[in-house]
Structure 1
Amino acid sequence: MEYVTLGRSGLKVSRACLGTMNFGSSEYFEGSDETEAARVIHAFLDEGHNFLDTADNYADGQSEEIVGRAVKGRRDSVVIATKGFMPHGRGPNDRGLSRLHLTRALEASLRRLGTDYIDLYQCHGWDDTTPIEETMMTLDGFVRSGKVRYLGCSNFTASQIVEAQWAAQRAGTTPFVSLQPQYSLVARNIEAEILPVCRRHGLGTAVWSPLGGGALNGRHTKNATPAADTRIGQMMASPIPIARLAAGDLVSERVLDIAEEVRKIAVELGSTPAAVALSWVRQRPGVTSVIIGPRSLDQLHGNFAGFALELPEQAAAHLERISRTPAVEPVNGMANPRLLTA
């Protein structure tokens, strides 16, 4: 098992990180039930991986609860990452990175996870309404109290990372050691500025959506409607307009052209499209850990193949070449599929 140091810290994490957004269900999303989710978590840990990622808003908090119950009895051998920022109520202080909201969010996450500490606590987004100094001092207080071990951020732009690290330096408080950005063959925006900034400011990366929201798993082809049981199929059927719009972009001509090249290479190597796409991301400079999001044990084992496969140099270079896009700095660090298909 390969472990790597997360950023400028002493924390060792596995190259594979189990993302748990698909565990539990909400009004608009049907994810894995607790029995299947626990099987996935146990199989992941039994293989020697140690890194689990969740958030307080995943399935309205059910994800954290499922993770907490699944790791009971082996908590000290697991690195649990969770996040705060998203809305939990309709009040003006029920979201964001203020001292008030983050303190409430951390305490609620600790309760749901059934633990007295979080290994990696992350800001899930940037808050324009709260001074970054207040956020970093609040997070430092969590570390000093022993309730949090390390700090990270998710979906920050390059300039936001710099602002946060400088604020921590000025105040003599705990800096971020990690970033969670979106990254895949169809979303490469972070290469222009975000990855270089992470290197300069000591942040490791745990990249999410390495399969392009499911577009690169081999199940989607041109002139075919995504199956209802796929993530993209669920997004297309969503009552939320932005979800339907994003789903359409994920099966755009450009994305499906890249998916077809991934499929061809998988056939040549006797592998699977998912394994090829995951392997490409894992081998990229600046990537510390890759977040996978299986909904079943079968999907988990399919994802494992991407961490065992070493792409030949020629295949990796071909994928790099055909997936290049103009450098665009995305809003909140999240690649906009509409920009990538322009």
Structure 2
Amino acid sequence: MKYNFLGSSGLQVSELGFGAGTLGGKGPLFSAWGQADQAEANQMIQQCLDAGINYFDTADVYSDGESERMLGKALINQRQQVIISTKVGIRSNEQINHVGYSRDYLIHAVEQSLKRLNTDYIDVLQLHQFDSFTPLEQLMSSLDQLVKSGKVRYIGASNFAGWQLMKAQAIADRYGYEKFSAHQIYYSLIGRDYEWELLPLNHDQKIGTVVWSPLGWGRLTGKFDRNHPLPEHSRLHETAQFAPPVNEEYLYQVLDVLQDISLATGYSIPQISLNWLLQRPTVSTVLIGARNSQQLSANLEANQFKLNEDQIQRLDTVSAIYPPYPYYPYWNGQFSERYHALVKSNFLA
């Protein structure tokens, strides 16, 4: 297992991390993700530990908190050897103030996550989405207090726009507050919007990228293509309404190239898709989820090889999308050259 620095935190995290969203199986969305019970969770997490994974990610809303509880139980004897990341901020109940990042709710949410995880500190606390109602000055002050209290070691954001993330960093810099070390984002061969604005921002601010849904919300599993329809049991039937949209022909063109590379290398489409992400600049860790130990075993092999330059170029070309204004001048000019140089050198911020 290779380890990368999580931004400027000084923490070294495994290039593959475990996404615990498949644990618990409660609710219409998360039950479709996975329904692993505690025994299955223990087995999968031990597989991860045996493979060298030290980064485990969850959220308070995953299966109504059950994911946090199960992850905490599974890691109880390994607490000092692992990095636990959890996310807060999405509404989880009907109480009017139990959402967002008011100081009152943020502290409450952290306390509840600590109880469910059965730990006295959270390694990386991430804000699950942007809150436009709580002033960023208050938010960054509250996060700084949580770090100083010892309940949180490092902070991160998830799914922020570039201006939101940069404004928060600037406020933290101005007042001497703790800055974000991580940004958890959607990034895949069929979802490369991250590269337009957030990639150069994370590179500039030394923020480590944590990738969620690296298989494009299940579209890059290799279970269907232009000649084979989506299987009846696919979770996409239940979760497509939540998934980032993808043009069908674009998806099939990417899958065509993935199939060619799979035939040439012997590695599966998911393994190739994950491997491509491991070589992208700013990426600190790619979260792999699994519904069972068999899926997990296959995903854990994604870092056992390295795509050659020709294969990477083919994947880059077929998955490329033209960015909107104002990004395209940089994409086609000097930044494009610098970006591809960073990719070639496997630079990690």
- On whether the aligned pair clears a TM of 0.5, the verdict is yes
Report the CA distance shift for 1:115/1:228 in structure 2 as closer, same or farther (over 3 A): farther
- The Cα shift of 1:223 comes to 5.4
Alignment equivalent of 1:91, drawn from 75, 95, 98 = 95
Q: Structure 2: how far apart are the matches of 1:228 and 1:95?
A: 35
Alignment equivalent of 1:68, drawn from 63, 66, 72 = 72
Q: What's 2:167 paired with? A: 163
1:217 partnered with 2:213: no
Q: What's 1:121 paired with? A: 125
1:11 partnered with 2:7: no
Q: 8 Å contact 2:129–2:157 — kept in the other structure?
A: yes
Report the CA distance shift for 1:298/1:263 in structure 2 as closer, same or farther (over 3 A): same
Q: Structure 2: how far apart are the matches of 1:292 and 1:76?
A: 22
- The Cα shift of 1:297 comes to 0.8
Q: Structure 2: how far apart are the matches of 1:225 and 1:33?
A: 30
Q: 8 Å contact 2:89–2:128 — kept in the other structure?
A: yes
- The Cα shift of 1:217 comes to 1.3
Alignment equivalent of 1:259, drawn from 255, 266, 283 = 255
Q: Structure 2: how far apart are the matches of 1:68 and 1:132?
A: 30
1:24 partnered with 2:24: yes
Report the CA distance shift for 1:226/1:250 in structure 2 as closer, same or farther (over 3 A): farther
Q: Structure 2: how far apart are the matches of 1:222 and 1:158?
A: 35
- The Cα shift of 1:167 comes to 1.0
RMSD: 1.6
1:279 partnered with 2:275: yes
1:151 partnered with 2:155: yes
- The Cα shift of 1:145 comes to 0.5
Q: Structure 2: how far apart are the matches of 1:18 and 1:56?
A: 16
The residue correspondences of 1:14-53 to structure 2 (distance < 5 A) are 14-28=14-28, 29-30=30-31, 31=34, 32-53=36-57
Q: Structure 2: how far apart are the matches of 1:189 and 1:202?
A: 19
Q: Structure 2: how far apart are the matches of 1:327 and 1:64?
A: 37
Q: Structure 2: how far apart are the matches of 1:251 and 1:323?
A: 11
How many residue pairs end up in the alignment? 321
Q: 8 Å contact 1:228–1:234 — kept in the other structure?
A: no
- The Cα shift of 1:229 comes to 3.3
Letter in 1 for 2:264: E
Q: 8 Å contact 2:262–2:268 — kept in the other structure?
A: yes
Fraction of identical pairs, as percent:
38
Segment drifting more, 135-144 vs 257-266: 257-266
Q: Structure 2: how far apart are the matches of 1:53 and 1:290?
A: 11
Please give the secondary structure, in 2, of the residue aligned with 1:105: helix
Please give the secondary structure, in 2, of the residue aligned with 1:288: strand
Q: 8 Å contact 1:215–1:251 — kept in the other structure?
A: no
Letter in 1 for 2:96: P
- The Cα shift of 1:285 comes to 1.7
Q: What's 1:239 paired with? A: none
Give runs of ≥4 in structure 1 deviating > 4 Å: none
Q: Structure 1: how far apart are the matches of 2:284 and 2:272?
A: 18
Please give the secondary structure, in 2, of the residue aligned with 1:151: strand
Please, what TM-score do these two structures have when normalized by structure 1?
0.90
- The Cα shift of 1:96 comes to 0.5
Q: What's 2:340 paired with? A: none
Q: Structure 2: how far apart are the matches of 1:179 and 1:264?
A: 33
Q: What's 2:314 paired with? A: 318
Q: What's 1:100 paired with? A: 104
1:229-255 CA distance string (max 9 Å, x none): 33313325xxxxx33xx48x4582221
Q: 8 Å contact 2:196–2:323 — kept in the other structure?
A: yes
Q: Structure 2: how far apart are the matches of 1:126 and 1:235?
A: 22
Please give the secondary structure, in 2, of the residue aligned with 1:181: strand
Please, what TM-score do these two structures have when normalized by structure 2?
0.88
Q: Structure 2: how far apart are the matches of 1:307 and 1:212?
A: 18
1:196 partnered with 2:200: yes
Q: 8 Å contact 1:21–1:54 — kept in the other structure?
A: yes
Gaps of 5+ in 2: 326-349
Q: What's 2:289 paired with? A: 293
Q: 8 Å contact 2:51–2:300 — kept in the other structure?
A: no
